[in-house]
Amino acid sequence: MTKRLASAVLALALLQGCATVGTLNAAKPGAPIIYSGTRLDWYSLNGGCCPVDRFGVEPPAYPALDLPASALLDTLLLPFAVAAEMGVVLGVSGGY
């Protein structure tokens, strides 16, 4: 049980630094939506000058480590990103 708890805590800690989560939470007008986290990591790895101006968020501290996880999460969220890029409003809300 302790290994599961430690794994869950580690996953949550790493997710906070995930580029995909950061870019989707930034909600910067004009920022890329499709594969945004992967693009931010790649931009950072290639010495991009102004990630906050382009993506609305700072890149993760270790973009090379974050790149595979962001690519996976961006792929899973691709249908929603394409819908958002096309202007489709999904009307999803939480709570009661």
- Structural domain range at position 80: 25-86
Tell me the average pLDDT of the chain: 81
Calpha distance 40→57 (Å, rounded): 9
Calpha distance 80→60 (Å, rounded): 23
The predicted-structure confidence for 23-38, as pLDDT tens digits, reads as follows 877 777 888 889 988 9
- The answer to whether residue 51 sits within a structural domain is yes
Q: Which of 7-16, 47-56, 62-71 has the lowest mean pLDDT?
A: 7-16
Tell me the pTM. 0.73
Sign (positive or negative) of CA dihedral 61, 37, 50, 28: negative
Backbone angles phi, psi at 67, to 5 degrees: -55, -50
- The answer to whether residue 37 sits within a structural domain is yes
Compute the average pLDDT of residues 75-95. Answer: 81
- The answer to whether residue 96 sits within a structural domain is no
Calpha distance 23→21 (Å, rounded): 6
Q: Which two tokens stand for residue 7?
A: 């794994």
- The answer to whether residue 46 sits within a structural domain is yes
Structurally, the chain folds into a number of domains equal to 1
- The answer to whether residue 44 sits within a structural domain is yes
